[in-house]
Structure 1
Amino acid sequence: MIRLASLALAAAVVAAVLPVHAQPQKFDKPEDAIKFRQATLKEMQQNFKRVADMASGRDDFNSKVADESAQRVAELIQQPWVAFGPGTEGGKAKPEVWTEQAKFKDLAGKAEGEMVKLAAAAKTGNLDAIKASIGAAGATCKACHDSFRAR
Structure 2
Amino acid sequence: MRPAFTMIELIFVIVVIAILAGLAVPKMLLIKNDASVTKELANIEILKNDLSLYYARHSKLPDGLINPIHFTQISNIFWSDNTTIDFKFPKETCIKIKIDNENASITFSPINNPIPLCKTLQFALAKSSLLNLENNTIKDKMISLGGGSIYNTSNVK
Q: TM-score range by the shorter chain?
A: 0.3 to 0.5
Greater strand percent: which structure? 2
Would you tell me which structure has more helix in proportion to its own residues? 1
In the superposition, the TM-score normalised over structure 1's length comes to 0.34
Larger Rg: 2
